[in-house]
Amino acid sequence: MFGRERIEIKTPEQVVAMRRAGLLTHAALESARAALRPGITTRELDAVAAEVIRAGGGTSNFLGYHGYPATLCISVNHVVVHGIPGDQVLAEGDVVSIDGGAVVDGWHGDSAFTAIVGEPADPADVELVETTRRALWAGIAALDRRGRVGDVGAAVEDAVDGRFAIVDGYTGHGIGTAMHMAPEVLNHRARERGPKVRPGLCLAVEPMCTRGGVETDVLADEWTVVTSDGSRAAHWEHTVAVLEEGLWVLTAPDGGASELGPLGVRVPQE
Ligand code: MF3
Ligand code: CO
């Protein structure tokens, strides 16, 4: 997809500028998380996040992207990604993936999480969400080895360990002066190991897993991606910068320290 484009390498100063977009992205997603409850509509959650981005002096990178009509993607149960906020009323036990991003001073953030509304309907939903979350952090941690971008997918695949299906055909991406840039970041092991990991590389890592198969379909709205077998899905994403001193997860409030420290990865203090 982005195979022939050159990779945008950031200076340390540019990474600091991207951190502002990352923190506003985090604040927007947290506001939606805090509002998540049975009875709320996905449109209401979208409005909450939109206001946080506006008040923080940013803009949404999703709104208007190839005509996308909202600030967030809200993907419920068998919807994997790119669910459009609307009249859907959330219910206890729903598995809800919320994806969003902010642009500040021309720099982009992109992040997603999956949460369960109220009491889980099935312990397997909890396991799906947690496994996908751990796969995200394993994928991020793999960047600290300064090998190849393909190490991310290998680490994601190892972390999922066959317990859930890794969605086919959707990937992470480079990020910076645009939301989607080179290189592609696969969520599975591949023969092509990808470009070298080096300081200044900024990536959005975003594993997507399902309780069923790897196949998806896009609905008639040309956005909503659903599992072909109707199984539930989860999606986690962070924007991360590779630095000389270690890794900095720009969309995590602590820069990733609490998750990456135990994995033996250095996260520089701000
Ligand atoms: N944030 C998504 C991704 O993770 C892209 C959303 S597409 C949009 O790459 F149109 F909704 F913006
Ligand atoms: Co993304």
HEC-encoded secondary structure of 1-57: CCCCCCCCCCCHHHHHHHHHHHHHHHHHHHHHHHHCCCCCEHHHHHHHHHHHHHHCC
Interval between CA 82 and ligand 1 midpoint (Å): 7
- Which listed ligand is nearest to 82 at the C-alpha? 1
Number of structural domains (the chain) is: 1
Confidence of residue 250 (pLDDT cuts 50, 70, 90): very high
Segment 194-222 shows an average pLDDT of 98
Contact 79, 97 (CB under 8 A): yes
Contact 205, 155 (CB under 8 A): no
CA 155 to chain CA centroid, nearest Å:
16
* H/E segment holding residue 208: strand 208-210
Residue 172 lies in a domain: yes
Pocket of ligand 1 (CB under 6 A): 62, 65-66, 68, 73, 82, 99, 101, 110, 204, 206, 237
Going by their DSSP bridges, the two strands 238-243 and 72-76 should be labelled as unpaired
Residue 3 lies in a domain: no
Q: Is 13 exposed, middle or buried (0-12, 13-18, 19+ CB in 10 A)?
A: exposed
Looking at the CA of residue 68, tell me the nearest atom of ligand 1: 10
Segment 246-255 shows an average pLDDT of 98
Confidence of residue 31 (pLDDT cuts 50, 70, 90): very high
118 backbone φψ class: left, alpha, beta (φ>0; ψ -120 to 50): left
Contact 200, 237 (CB under 8 A): no
Residue 226 lies in a domain: yes
- Tell me the percentage of the chain whose pLDDT exceeds 70: 99
Query: What's the confidence (pLDDT) of residue 71?
Result: 99
Tokens at residue 49, please? 């996040």
Residue 101 lies in a domain: yes
Whether residue 82 has pLDDT greater than 70? yes
106 backbone φψ class: left, alpha, beta (φ>0; ψ -120 to 50): left
Residue 88 lies in a domain: yes
Segment 72-89 shows an average pLDDT of 99
Confidence of residue 269 (pLDDT cuts 50, 70, 90): confident
- Say whether pTM exceeds 0.95: yes
Whether residue 11 has pLDDT greater than 70? yes
Closest CA to 201 of 240, 237, 168: 240
Residue 169 corresponds to which amino acid?
A: G
Helix axes 123-141, 150-160, angle to 10 degrees: 150
Residue 257 corresponds to which amino acid?
A: A
Residue 6 lies in a domain: no
From residue 202, how far is each of 39, 85, 167, 260 by CA, in Å? 38, 28, 23, 17
Per-residue pLDDT tens over the stretch 134-161:
999 999 999 999 999 999 999 999 999 9
Nearest CA, atom 12, ligand 1: 62
Q: At residue 212, what are phi and psi to the nearest 5 degrees?
A: -120, -120
Residue 1 lies in a domain: no
Segment 236-241 shows an average pLDDT of 99
Whether residue 5 has pLDDT greater than 90? no
Residue 7 lies in a domain: no
Nearest CA, atom 8, ligand 1: 62
Which residue carries 């203090």 as its tokens? 269
Query: What's the confidence (pLDDT) of residue 4?
Result: 67
Nearest CA, atom 2, ligand 1: 99
From residue 177, how far is each of 1, 14, 84, 105 by CA, in Å? 18, 10, 25, 9
Query: What's the confidence (pLDDT) of residue 227?
Result: 99
Interval between CA 236 and ligand 2 midpoint (Å): 9
Query: What's the confidence (pLDDT) of residue 57?
Result: 98
* Order of strands, sheet of 216-218, starting from the edge strand that comes earlier in the sequence: 79-81, 225-227, 216-218
CATH of the domain at 118: 3.90.230.10
Residue 65 corresponds to which amino acid?
A: Y
Interval between CA 110 and ligand 2 midpoint (Å): 5
- Which listed ligand is nearest to 175 at the C-alpha? 2
**Gyration radius from the chain CA atoms:** 17
Looking at the CA of residue 73, tell me the nearest atom of ligand 1: 11
Per-residue pLDDT tens over the stretch 89-109:
999 999 999 999 999 999 999
Query: Which ranges in 142-196 belong to alpha helices (H)?
Result: 150-160
Query: What's the confidence (pLDDT) of residue 58?
Result: 99
Interval between CA 40 and ligand 1 midpoint (Å): 22
CA torsion angle for 77, 82, 84, 85 (degrees, to 10)?
60
Interval between CA 269 and ligand 1 midpoint (Å): 29
Interval between CA 201 and ligand 1 midpoint (Å): 20
Query: What's the confidence (pLDDT) of residue 270?
Result: 81
Per-residue pLDDT tens over the stretch 42-72:
999 999 999 999 999 999 999 999 999 999 9
Structural domain harbouring 61: 12-263
